[in-house]
Structure 1
């Protein structure tokens, strides 16, 4: 099963720059002014539209599986706001977390 998440963003161009230059996502402009960011099959769609009558916000963490997690961490860690560093978690996952330019929490975990 694939999953795509639609999120409100503060600014599409700022979001584009962050996801391209700091996280290495593949980006494309999509329907009605949205921006789709894809990394290893995980997709996030950002819209500047106020579809929910609220500021950007999400009460959770979005997990993305990536191969070669240690290499990816070394590539991105200095250009992002780390929420937690790369570590082996007590529940069996190897992961790290960041906070993106819109305030969303993303966790990157080792792809099985």
Structure 2
């Protein structure tokens, strides 16, 4: 048995605005979207995120997540320079003792997304 990569599903009451944020700001591509289902899948390279409107089985008043979405990249500095003036920044780019250079932003729903690069693999 082999596990596949985790694909987070985020909930939103603004499906199209969320798809647009990930595609227009972060450079993802929308591979599939259904207004009828209230669902979309966006991806960039090996990273995929599903976006869904909450249904009757989903208790949902506002976006929440008790952690962050952490996306590793091979050029965090270029990404930082491209995004920092287009998004709400959670924290600026910084080198951390655990060997990662990273920064964090908020998407249009206030979900935090961290981007990091392994300093020892640069």
TM over 0.5: yes
Matched residue SS, 1:86: strand
Please say which structure displays the higher CA radius of gyration.
2
Segments of 4+ in structure 1 off by > 4 A?
none
Point out which structure has higher relative CO (alpha carbons under 8 A, 6+ apart): 1
Unmatched runs of 5 consecutive residues or more in structure 2: none
Matched, 1:38 2:54: no
TM-score, normalising length: structure 1: 0.88
Q: Would you say 1:57 and 2:102 are equivalent positions?
A: no
Residue 70 (1) aligns with residue 77 (2) = yes
More displaced 10-residue stretch of structure 1: 100-109 or 29-38? 29-38
- For the pair 1:104 / 2:111, whether they are aligned, the reply is yes
Higher share in helix = 1
- TM-score norm. by structure 2 comes to 0.82
Aligned length: 112
> Gapped runs of 5+ residues in structure 1?
none
